Amino acid sequence: MSEEHYYLELCENPVQFENASSVNNVFFDEANKQVFAVRSGGATGVVVKGPEDKSSVAFRMDDKGEVKCIKFSIGNKILAVQRTPKSVDFINFIPDYPHLEFSQECKMKNASILGFCWTNWNEIVFITDQGIEFYQVLPDKRSLKLLKSQSINVNWYMYCPETAVILLSTTFQGNVLQPFAFKSGTMSKMSKFEIELPVVPKPAKLNLSERDIAVANIYGQLYVMYLKHHSRTTDSPCAEVILYQLPREGSCKKTNVLKLNTTGKFALNVVDNLVVVHHQSTQTSIIFDIKLREPDCALNVHQPVLPPRSIHPYRIPLTGIGYLELLYVCTLIDSSSWSVFQPDIIISASEGYQWYLQVKLPPTVNLLQDKGKLIDFLLRRRDCKMVILSVCSQMLNGEDKGSLPVVATVFDKLNQVFKEYLEAEQTYTVAMESGPSRGSTARERPVRTQAVIDQSDMYTHVLSSFTEKKDVSHKFIIAVLMEYIRSLNQVQITVQHYLYELVIKTLVHHSLFYMLHQFLQYHVLSDSKPLACLLLSLEGTYPAAHQLSLDMLKRLSTANDEIVEVLLSKQQVLGALRFIRSVGGNDNISARKFLDAALQTADQMLFYTIFRFFEQRNLRLRGSPSFNPGEHCEEHVVYFKQVFGEQALMKQATV
């Protein structure tokens, strides 16, 4: 298969640990993303590998029985180990603290501990079959303090470390879920909800299995994902994933249905806010984006975004043999040695690898033909900028060239995101300048994600090279440029002058002077000093550009100096003087600049007129027609005397 076939891959630098053949047990800590490889015999040896080398730890502890669960608190400060159904042991890893074990039994009589979760560096929750117990660990006293407990029958539990929410399965069928949220020493009971189980023929009853439930954070919201297997007797035997949104306050509600269009064994991951569903029997995976709506489906019912594909094969080096190629990870997902963890982790205990699942965006470009839908999909992904720009280039070139309405749709989508970022940045700036108001929370500066495609990005990576294409009609090139400018204007983003320059250069290159004149006359191209200067440079090719430039500078009203320079460069000295007098700036202009320009014309009468004007200005402002030394006009006075005689100099008025 070519590289373009795969849109899912395993990370290049996985966490490696001792494989299952050399250890007794392998545990995964979802909060710290750490793998614990535990070897028993005499003393218990533990090797902990995390996503970064600095989080790797190796140590030994007394062998007090089989390890059922082992996890570090956040920051590797305290180790918790469960060996029995009744208690959890703790070891301090804080520097300068005694490296001694201490233990805590669960408070509820006859209860068995199902597991535990760290919610902070010194806060831990025991989950028992009779409820939950929330403790604060006191490492200096080597003891625990019960903060809160709740009695409830528990079948199994799930934990989402991103949101510090624990989900408990209750009732006989296990389909009533009770969530609890934890934050800074507090435990909050959230609204319980019921998972709707498939209908099965009587007298059979179906229980909710933890294998069919996953908890994940998608687009900043907490969701419970239920893998629903329909019975073969129903009209639609295909499986589906039901999403329940779980708010901090208020009731949980069913929000999305993901259609899998097949049956069998599945596993779930969430990568870059995409729900990834792995199908074992076909050895393929499919992805869903819950923010993409299907036009022909009911609200919030989703089909896969892309066709099913395998995960890119991963090659594991084997000493002295070469490589073992894992053709597809999910063939082993339901076996004893492979596990999937939320949000994006796949572990092979047998091979000793922990991978992060990743989405490859470039292959999606050719798999999703609808350009509008493709851009919507890409804009929500992390590393999307260069892929989006490549889509834009592809859309304007070659066989994949899109129609103008498609191009317009893509530009509008990109500029809407750009506008939203600019508005957020402006709101933040205003808030910072005005200072904090009473009772308001501190504002965070908006993050410029890769989805923000600005004018510089489009100019550099797409439009500048597009205008140089020989195999694209100039009409289409100009139409695309004007469409991008229209899109910017539509969301009230100021168009940068280099885009207008690109339009002008394209028009001039194809000798479309009439169209250029029309664009300028009807202000399709906004006035600016750089644009006026560009027009001046085009005078040799298009003589009318000089006057168009001058008109533009006059309209700007802040470009008086530029207009004077333009007129003087054209030896229109009297025109420059008349202009500067019309705007009331003649008292501040440089006499030397105008006298130099008059000299260069070799027109003696023009020089006389300009010289006399400045003599009169000097007399009016200072009471003397003479030039001050700081004006550096000595050579001009000498020239005037030589040509017109000293008697022609204006005399100082006598009282």
Choice between 96 and 372, residue whose per-residue pLDDT is larger = 372
Q: What are phi and psi of 104, to 5 degrees?
A: -140, 125
68-73: average pLDDT: 92
pLDDT range class, residue 103, cuts 50, 70, 90:
very high
Distances (CA, A) of 71 to 42, 64, 78, 629: 21, 17, 9, 85
| The pLDDT value given to residue 166 | 95
| Mean pLDDT of the chain, nearest integer | 84
Choice between 207 and 277, residue whose per-residue pLDDT is larger = 277
131-147: average pLDDT: 93
317-339: average pLDDT: 50
| The pLDDT value given to residue 322 | 46
Pair type for strands 301-302 and 253-259: parallel
The answer on pLDDT for 369 being more than 60 is: yes
* Residue % of the chain over a pLDDT of 90: 34
Report the run of H or E that residue 165 belongs to, with start and end.
Answer: strand 165-170
- As a whole number of angstroms, the distance between CA 313 and CA 109 comes to 50
The answer on pLDDT for 400 being more than 60 is: no
Per-residue pLDDT tens over the stretch 618-636:
888 888 888 888 888 989 9
- As a whole number of angstroms, the distance between CA 531 and CA 380 comes to 36
- As a whole number of angstroms, the distance between CA 168 and CA 187 comes to 14
The answer on pLDDT for 148 being more than 90 is: yes
Report the run of H or E that residue 552 belongs to, with start and end.
Answer: helix 545-556
Distances (CA, A) of 34 to 49, 114, 166, 274, 630: 6, 20, 19, 23, 77
The answer on pLDDT for 135 being more than 70 is: yes
- Amino acid type, 532: A
Question: Of 404, 390, 341, which is closest to residue 361 (Cα–Cα)?
Answer: 390
The answer on pLDDT for 249 being more than 50 is: yes
Residue 104 tokens read as 């805590």
Q: What are phi and psi of 425, to 5 degrees?
A: -65, -40
Strands (E), 42-138: 43-49, 57-62, 69-72, 78-82, 87-92, 101-105, 113-120, 123-128, 131-138
Q: For 51-60, 354-363, 469-478, which range has the lowest pLDDT when averaged over its residues?
A: 51-60
Per-residue pLDDT tens over the stretch 315-324:
776 654 444 4
The answer on pLDDT for 434 being more than 50 is: yes
pLDDT range class, residue 388, cuts 50, 70, 90:
very high
pLDDT range class, residue 97, cuts 50, 70, 90:
confident
Q: What are phi and psi of 59, to 5 degrees?
A: -160, 170
Statement: the pTM of the whole predicted model exceeds 0.85:
no
- Amino acid type, 383: D
Q: For 173-182, 368-377, 543-552, 557-566, which range has the lowest pLDDT when averaged over its residues?
A: 557-566
